[in-house]
Structure 1
């Protein structure tokens, strides 16, 4: 979610303000109605139908696919809101949030046509998620102030990841959550105060305390994403929809206390020579077997592997389509189907990347990157990963110093919020004799760990310095921009997260390039995911202990079953690094 100013909530309904807010879910029942300075309908007894049918308000913004899948997974049927009467007759209503409120509610946005309906809800039933009433100016239902997280406090913004809640005594639906992590992804937070203290059911700490959920009368709203918080999040939805349901959470030995480090499973997906969509893994980006047949390395089916990794404890699944949508991305229906099928049973964040940019098809019809991204969001993606197109946008930005607003990175982050956009950086080391040889950030080579090259101190020809050259087209083409310069530029253009790969270390199993990870994670204020080179659980603890990486990603060691995800997490716990167990 993106907004530019912080402002107090007003006491009246003020739709169509210039603001942004975060995606989350509102959980609202007619049980335990209370007073909230707004008009409530009288409670009524719940019928058997109420325990099987859930009403969903979907106005076309954000990833509603995930909440639909979670509800169906829990055994509930869904009725979509089409008229105000559908809301007034609902026994359980869920209102999902959006990535950026202002674009959704402007005259060209998906929510604009529903503004009269939203006013009806406010007047009759106060049915809103935090993206509406916990906003900068929005609809102004809850008193208080919303503002952007203060990055000067040493935290990374957006707040992305698994964090712990401090649950109040009257939370009801959060009874199983207090000792566990839940998934957050937002840049703005509502500040606890005397004005809103009666609304707060839980808080969370990230640099400071902020409101993570509210409960007032028949209103439950959460800042985190239950549908992306694994089994813990599903229990929140289950307790809201069926308050009498018994807890299905297993006792937990430790307690969640802060933002956890995440272990992410990456699936490189492409068609093999037979035309089948498979998960593969490269060796320095070469995905073909070193054999006479020279066939594409096949490590399994993408949907099956994603489901397996979810069950094994992966905190996120990242799909990278390396076949590439080379001509028309929306024509790659198999990849879209992979997302749809995976999101039906995987309830952690799903990221997809590969070929996301503006396109003109064979008929001459133009498709913007925003349309491409929208299709992926509707198919189950939570975040979009942009690679080559972000490199080109950064080069232009550095050259001109002007943000055009036309790049895929800028378009998608403006509409869906910067937390929905990951930039994938694919650099390789280039050695030089002197720092003045190139106009990029250069490092003194003896500082390098050089794990991937097996060198002692210097480059292959005795060079004492090196820089990290960014590449495009799957590492096949080097560009005149360094990883440091690219990272700084894409942060400025609206990226919310960086996936930092390393061609030199890819597939080597000798460890992450911690010098590269440290260089980038020290230079930006957004989360950085370390990738490429993991071979043992110790490599994960090393990158977390020596750099400011927020998360770490691996592929081959999981695909080949060399290192189970659970073994990585158990090792991190032994090293006193907090993770979701």
Structure 2
């Protein structure tokens, strides 16, 4: 069967296409309005920001044929923004109307919650549907959004999900189905839902069970530091406090092939995979074909979220042409990334904001968030401890520490660094996180130079301080050496995810064993 995908040019559509192809179907892209009308099955994977999406649909004359297709009750699957577009308006883009096929609006989650809602959560079916065939009912699916739909007609609600409030996570009216979650990023359960939808001949059914309340899982994130080794081959490596060369041989540590390792972690149950491009050619990201190829190949067989970091900034090529950070990010999104991680450039943006009292509205953080949504922008912070005898000794955000300094200092602040931790800057991690949130970032990847490669556990004091300072999700990174360290960070802080690299690469901790351990200790985790 040929499936038509409405790709309006934003976000990672490659994963949707790969998931459909993996199920044995041919994919055709909408090139003009007639392609919508002539579709057998139409899939609309909306990714990004509501206003940008609707403006693009109107510019390309897709609105009228879309509404006509929907009115004929023909097979339609909307994903994420593809659900939100069906309604009249969104608080994300006041004054820009949606398709208005359903009465109702799109509203933001309460400010009391960490937003975006990112991660694996359950669904509560309200009635039967063909997409539920073969589901147990306790599966978790991947969400990443700041807004949710509020239909006037409650009869179209197919499932709800709990996140501070109970919100509508999918709708169905006849052959029209739309989900807030991403089936293409939800592992085997998501592929089952896609398979059911595309089969068309399956009788509606209900899962065998339904949770009374759904719970957001704590995420386990596998990180792959990728760089070229001494022969020029791209490998996964791991630093010891950011030094990736073996202390004896002086060679770059080679822990495996990036695509193969990513597939292994997907099979083992990693909730997300992060690629950090730490090699020299990140200075020319649009010519960085090896990293783009890694993303493309990985997304063919890995159906969980992929993040890419390293080189997400503006640059000028050897011919003098200027490329914006938005153009660089777009290339990675089109190659299979769901999120981009901004590191050193975020520090420079915040420094400018502090010194001038304002910042260029087209800075990398704001520009990417404006087009692709805040959930697509991750800020990677690389701080190190700086001890102080008293809070008055520095203007930076200071915490009282239980780990005194070399001279018995009882206070410290966390200095942000750039250039892979080699250069300290005059801005602290708490300030950086707060300003980046204001500029549009949707998530913090919080590293710690002092803990990197030590296996001593996460820096709980740092993580707690940053979690308390922002209202966006935080991923803990650096220092994990055993399962107890994950338990500690999940029970002692509000962090939503924990990342590790070396202990996974060396099989010192296996992801299935880690999740079983956390589950026994009462931590909500995801199985897919």
Residues 200-279 of structure 1: matches in 2 within 5 Å?
200-244=157-201, 257-279=214-236
Residues 80-95 of structure 1: matches in 2 within 5 Å?
80-95=29-44
In structure 2, the partner of 1:48 is none
- Distance between the aligned counterparts of 1:488 and 1:169, measured in 2? 42
The answer on 1:148 being equivalent to 2:108 is yes
Decide whether the 8 Å contact of 2:11 with 2:372 is kept in 1.
Answer: yes
In structure 1, the partner of 2:408 is 462
- Cα displacement (A) at 1:124: 4.1
- Distance between the aligned counterparts of 2:275 and 2:32, measured in 1? 37
- 279, 285, 290: which one pairs with 2:242? 285
Q: TM-score w.r.t. structure 1 length?
A: 0.84
Cα deviation, 1:219-268, whole Å, max 9, x if unaligned, reads: 00001100000010000100000144699xx9999998310101000000
- Cα displacement (A) at 1:103: 2.3
The answer on 1:184 being equivalent to 2:143 is yes
- 132, 137, 140: which one pairs with 1:174? 132
Decide whether the 8 Å contact of 2:445 with 2:474 is kept in 1.
Answer: yes
Query: Secondary structure of 1:133's partner?
Result: coil
Cα deviation, 1:38-90, whole Å, max 9, x if unaligned, reads: xxxxxxxxxxxxxx221112121221111011011111111222344433332
- Distance between the aligned counterparts of 2:446 and 2:208, measured in 1? 36
Decide whether the 8 Å contact of 2:276 with 2:310 is kept in 1.
Answer: yes
- Distance between the aligned counterparts of 2:210 and 2:247, measured in 1? 46
- 101, 121, 127: which one pairs with 2:66? 121
In structure 1, the partner of 2:93 is none
The answer on 1:569 being equivalent to 2:518 is no
Kindly tell me the number of residue pairs found equivalent between the two proteins: 509
Decide whether the 8 Å contact of 2:316 with 2:322 is kept in 1.
Answer: yes
Structure 1 residue runs of 5 or longer lacking an equivalent are 1-51, 449-457
- 334, 340, 351: which one pairs with 2:290? 334
Select between 465-474 and 394-403 the one with higher mean Cα deviation. Answer: 394-403
- Cα displacement (A) at 1:423: 0.2
Decide whether the 8 Å contact of 2:221 with 2:498 is kept in 1.
Answer: yes
- Cα displacement (A) at 1:140: 1.8
Residues 20-59 of structure 1: matches in 2 within 5 Å?
52-59=1-8
Select between 343-352 and 328-337 the one with higher mean Cα deviation. Answer: 328-337
- Distance between the aligned counterparts of 2:159 and 2:283, measured in 1? 48
The answer on 1:375 being equivalent to 2:310 is no
In structure 1, the partner of 2:94 is none
Query: Secondary structure of 1:376's partner?
Result: helix
Structure 2 residue runs of 5 or longer lacking an equivalent are 91-96
Select between 281-290 and 163-172 the one with higher mean Cα deviation. Answer: 163-172
- Distance between the aligned counterparts of 2:41 and 2:399, measured in 1? 58
Q: TM-score w.r.t. structure 2 length?
A: 0.93
- Distance between the aligned counterparts of 1:121 and 1:410, measured in 2? 30
- Cα displacement (A) at 1:404: 2.3
- 511, 520, 537: which one pairs with 2:457? 511
- Distance between the aligned counterparts of 2:170 and 2:299, measured in 1? 25
- 61, 65, 68: which one pairs with 2:17? 68
- Are residues 200 and 254 of structure 1, via their aligned partners in 2, closer, same or farther at CA, if it must alter by over 3 Å? closer
In structure 1, the partner of 2:353 is 397
- Distance between the aligned counterparts of 1:86 and 1:104, measured in 2? 18
Cα deviation, 1:322-342, whole Å, max 9, x if unaligned, reads: 114453111111011000000
Please give the root-mean-square deviation of Cα atoms over the aligned residues, in Å. Answer: 2.0
- Are residues 179 and 302 of structure 1, via their aligned partners in 2, closer, same or farther at CA, if it must alter by over 3 Å? same
In structure 2, the partner of 1:524 is 470
- Distance between the aligned counterparts of 2:183 and 2:69, measured in 1? 26
In structure 2, the partner of 1:138 is 98
Query: Secondary structure of 1:439's partner?
Result: coil
Cα deviation, 1:280-328, whole Å, max 9, x if unaligned, reads: 001111110011x300000000000000000000000000001144531
Query: Secondary structure of 2:155's partner?
Result: coil
Decide whether the 8 Å contact of 1:179 with 1:255 is kept in 2.
Answer: no
- Distance between the aligned counterparts of 1:433 and 1:317, measured in 2? 40
- Distance between the aligned counterparts of 2:287 and 2:34, measured in 1? 39
